[in-house]
Amino acid sequence: MIAVFIAIFVIMAVMIYFVTASLRIVTENASKKVNVYFLSKLKEFDSDFKEKMNELEELKESKEEVEQRIKILKQDYNAMQVSRFYKPRPVIRDAYIPVSHYIDNGFFADYKTAKNLLVMDKGSIIKTVLERFPYHGNMDRYNAAKSILELLNFNAIYDLCTLEKTEQLKVLYDSLKKKEKALLGEFIEPMDEIDEFDILDFISWLKQTVSIQTPILTAYLGEEDENYDNVADNVVCMFDKNVCEGIRIVYQGRLYDYSIYKSRKKNEHIY
């Protein structure tokens, strides 16, 4: 009887051992599966978290852009209230389009009208000026004044300025030809004393003489590729960036203006 109980006890102990071992194996496998599942979910959460953070940054940037647009719109609204020339402009829904507000909205219509009026035959205008105003200058005075200006370069002027007025005139007079001496005499004739002579004033007077007596017609044009030198031998064309439309002609000390000219003190061409 005792042997039976011992056998039963041994069998129950073995069964308990196997059940415990099985439970331990099942528990370990379940723990591993839970850990794997938890790690996979954690990776997914981390990926979602990064994506949400990126979306949050994009929303912040969008918010800043919207705030900037609102600020610009407020400025435009204030400008609209100030300017009496403002005209409302349609804006496409859900689209922000910055619009320039011009002081005078009629400018472009006026400019187009002026441009149409200035459609001209520039070569014909040059011919007309030459025909209606023939050259009446003095070529001898022109050539003499031009020759003296070529003689009086920077070094020559510097050397003369180091001398006394009397010595200046003597050196200058000895360097000139007959017709050139006549021009010098004409310049100093009104002077009461030799000390009144100034070499720089003399040069300015010579330039003015050349400008008045020149047979050259100078045409100032707003396009670099325009050229009407073939109209006549005494025609010279020059580019002037301030000529918006048309042509400006300088001939025999006079200006014939058929242009829209952008006049500025800093870059205005001196004729």
| Distance of alpha carbon 159 from alpha carbon 157, whole angstroms | 5
Question: What does 140-160 look like in DSSP terms, one character per residue?
Answer: HHHHHHHHHHHHS-HHHHHHH
In the chain, where are the structural domains located?
1-105, 120-261
Taking the alpha carbons of 259, 265, 267, 268 in that order, is the dihedral positive or negative? Answer: positive
| Distance of alpha carbon 167 from alpha carbon 124, whole angstroms | 52
Tokens of 44: 């997914």
- From residue 136, how far is each of 78, 147, 173, 231 by CA, in Å? 62, 20, 29, 19
Determine the pLDDT at residue 106: 67
Enumerate residues 6+ apart whose C-beta is below 8 A from 240: 220, 221, 222, 248, 269
Phi-psi group of 253: left, alpha or beta (phi > 0 → left; psi -120 to 50 → alpha; rest → beta): left
| Distance of alpha carbon 94 from alpha carbon 64, whole angstroms | 17
Q: Please, are residues 232 and 250 in contact by the beta-carbon 8 Å criterion?
A: no
* Look-up of token digits 């205008």: 125
Determine the pLDDT at residue 268: 57
User: Which amino acid is present at 126?
Assistant: I
Determine the pLDDT at residue 250: 92
Helix (H, G, I), strand (E, B) or coil at 237: strand
Q: Please, are residues 242 and 257 in contact by the beta-carbon 8 Å criterion?
A: no
Determine the pLDDT at residue 129: 92
Phi-psi group of 246: left, alpha or beta (phi > 0 → left; psi -120 to 50 → alpha; rest → beta): left
Burial of residue 179 (number of CB atoms within 10 Å: 0-12, 13-18, 19+): middle
| pLDDT tens series, the chain, 271 aa | 676 667 676 677 767 766 777 777 777 776 776 666 666 766 666 676 677 787 888 888 888 888 888 877 776 666 555 444 445 555 555 555 555 555 566 667 777 777 777 778 889 999 999 999 988 888 999 999 999 999 888 888 888 888 888 888 888 888 888 888 888 888 888 887 877 888 888 899 999 899 888 899 999 998 888 888 888 999 999 998 888 888 999 998 889 988 888 765 555 555 5
Say which DSSP state 133 is in: S
| Distance of alpha carbon 249 from alpha carbon 128, whole angstroms | 11
Q: Give which of 183, 193, 255, 245 is closest to 218, Cα–Cα.
A: 255
| Distance of alpha carbon 271 from alpha carbon 265, whole angstroms | 13
